[in-house]
Amino acid sequence: MQIITIEEEAWKQLNSRISAITDYLKRLEDTSYDDLWLNNHEVCQYLHISEKTLWRMRTKGEIAYSKIYGQYFYTIGAIKDMLNANAVQSSDEYVQELMEKGKSYIEKGRKLKTDKK
């Protein structure tokens, strides 16, 4: 058996990094909000969409819901599933092209308009 010793400051830094990694992994696993129910208005605010758009999504079967006494309810998990199902994956070539365009934009010294006068 070998005994390894390190300085106290190095141990504190290592311990701090391990704690940060542990906290990060716990946040990734946190699904406690997935079972939380939201009504129409809350979902529309959350997604920044109109009630008409939410109605269309519901009638097309794009989002899971429950109906109780004429009111519709959705879980955050169902919203996440719907968003993930509709996520657009971009190719590496597209990302590379986008980065090159951004670099050329900066190199040419173009300025973004931040306020309108």
Global pTM reads 0.51
Give the pLDDT of residue 85. 84
Which is higher by pLDDT, 31 or 86? 86
Measured N-to-C along each axis, helices 40-47 and 76-85 cross at an angle, to the nearest 10 degrees, of 40
Which is higher by pLDDT, 69 or 104? 69
Q: What are the tokens at 105? A: 């934009």
Give the pLDDT of residue 57. 93
Give the pLDDT of residue 69. 94
Per residue in 52-78, pLDDT (tens digit) is 999 999 999 999 999 999 999 999 889
